[in-house]
């Protein structure tokens, strides 16, 4: 495992800002990957009659998970900015379903990190979305 203290980061992050507001949860991590969850809540639903989770919270989950996977791969926190994040939705996140994202930092250059991921409702073989992202790293 890398030198980035992911447990301390999530202990802080779950009490402040966006992660607290939408209820992001840390699940697991490795040297270059992170798994996070977003439990279904009524306030995250686009249209209450449908029960389908809005895309915005899912994008936030995947963006956060992707960015943190970069820090685990680097072994340290380093300021970064999402340059591009593409989500290809394959199905909706339905009422009561916790969305789980697992993102993997596949490559890091001097200034750019590349991440791929999948979001699912508990079964990785039945994905909600697949993702690909690039992140610009601060400093040289």
Calculated CA dihedral for residues 54, 58, 63, 65, nearest 10 degrees: 160
Q: Is residue 135 classed as helix, strand or coil in its secondary structure?
A: strand
Task: Go through 11-25 and write b for each residue having 16 or more CB atoms within 10 A of its CB, e for each that does not.
Answer: eebeeeeebeebbbe
Query: For residue 26, what is the enclosing H or E element?
Result: strand 25-29
**Against a cut of 0.95, is the pTM above it?**
no
Name the average pLDDT for the chain. 92
Please give the pLDDT value at position 17. Answer: 79
Q: pLDDT tens for residues 33-78?
A: 999 999 999 999 988 899 999 999 999 999 999 999 999 999 998 8
Q: What is the largest CA-CA distance in the chain?
A: 50
The DSSP secondary-structure symbol of 15 reads T
Give the integer Cα–Cα distance in Å for 113 and 66.
10
């Amino acid at each position: 495992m890398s030198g980035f203290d992911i447990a301390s980061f999530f202990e802080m992050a779950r009490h402040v800002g966006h992660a607290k507001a939408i209820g992001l949860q840390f699940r697991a991590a490795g040297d270059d990957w992170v798994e996070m969850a977003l439990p279904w809540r009524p306030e995250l639903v686009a249209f209450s009659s449908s029960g389908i989770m809005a895309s915005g919270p899912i994008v936030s989950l995947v963006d956060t998970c992707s960015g943190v996977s970069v820090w685990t791969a680097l072994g340290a926190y380093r300021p970064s900015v999402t340059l591009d994040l593409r989500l290809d939705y394959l199905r909706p996140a339905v009422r009561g379903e916790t969305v789980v994202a697992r993102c993997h930092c596949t490559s890091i250059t001097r200034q750019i990190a590349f991440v791929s991921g999948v979001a699912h409702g508990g079964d990785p073989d039945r994905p909600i979305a697949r993702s690909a992202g690039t992140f610009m790293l601060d400093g040289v």
